[in-house]
Amino acid sequence: WLERKAQTDSLVIGILTEAGLPAELYYMSMIESGLNSHARSRVGAVGYWQFMPGTARHFRLRRDWWVDERRDLEMSTRAAATYLSQLYNHFQDWALVLAAYNAGEGRIDRIIKRAGHRDFWRLPLPSETRNHIPKFIATARICADPARYGFAPPPPSPLRYDVVTVDRPTDLDVVARCAGAAKDEVRALNPALLRGVSPPDPRGYPVRVPPGRGEA
């Protein structure tokens, strides 16, 4: 996780800060997915922020035969920021926000109503949700001082790329060859493209290539 954090934190924290959210919410994506674009839960949640199909559709993340934007770090983080903002506006309590992100706001509302209070630590939550916040706190503390806990994280290596609009279905290996880049690198920058091909969109599709290779 710390190796992936070295690549992703600047982009994710930038989006969260832009949305007026605490930067620490970054750690949610760590405990949700291990910062793995291909993470999939047993119930079908996918990507960095583990969006279910219905939630992804609600927040306008594309999901079809060609593309699953739940696997795209930037797009899914923007959707997560919108969702987290809405949850906070509703609950006004970050522990309840994290619980609702895990279990669903409707379920948390019903549990609060039955319990007659809003104290996260005393609510009769499902075990997975009850453990969610301690996991978040532990992750935040470790990442704040990795050496204290025996970890030696790599130096920051922020994820950077150029974006090129590709106006017809094109294999990413062809994109890599045109950009003078490694095939694996281009594929890794475009995890949302399920077939390794840009989709047949009339207006083109934004494909990512290594920084400085867009013009080529």
Annotated active-site positions, please?
32
Closest CA to 163 of 182, 185, 190: 190
CA 120 to chain centre: 24
* Alpha carbon distance 169, 156 (integer Å): 34
For residues 83 and 55, the answer to whether their CB atoms sit within 8 Å is yes
Closest CA to 164 of 174, 154, 155: 174
* Alpha carbon distance 203, 170 (integer Å): 14
207's enclosing H/E stretch is: strand 205-209
